[in-house]
């Protein structure tokens, strides 16, 4: 099980999972349902949603293109 593609695949999946988690945190902040996060301004929730979407969609594409160009 010494597949060189496995770490890259896991990195792509980790980036997607982190992006989804960050976007979900932003949605929870905007809902004001959890008292611990109720202090946060709405702009922070909006920013987390955007950052999570970028991390979910753009980062895996950038990594894949970078790895493809190296051989």
Token pair, residue 26, equals 């932003």
Q: What is the pTM of this model?
A: 0.86
Residue with more model confidence, 39 or 70 = 39
Check whether 1 has a pLDDT greater than 90: no
Q: Kindly calculate the radius of gyration of the chain based on its CA atoms and give it in whole angstroms.
A: 16
User: Cα–Cα distance between 57 and 30 in angstroms, integer?
Assistant: 21
Interatomic CA distance for residues 7 and 4, integer angstroms: 7
Encode pLDDT of 26-56 as tens digits. Answer: 999 999 888 888 888 999 999 999 999 999 9
Rounded Cα gap, residues 27 and 3, in angstroms: 37
- Whether the pLDDT of residue 71 is over 70: the answer is no
CA 19 to CA 54: how far, in whole Å?
A: 7
Say what the pLDDT of residue 39 is.
85
């Amino acid at each position: 099980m010494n597949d060189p593609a496995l770490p890259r695949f896991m990195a792509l999946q980790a980036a997607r999972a982190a992006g989804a988690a960050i976007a979900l945190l932003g949605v929870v902040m905007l809902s004001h349902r959890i008292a611990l996060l109720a202090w946060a301004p709405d702009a922070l929730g909006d920013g987390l949603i955007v950052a999570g979407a970028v991390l979910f969609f753009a980062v895996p594409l950038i990594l894949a293109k970078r790895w493809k160009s190296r051989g």
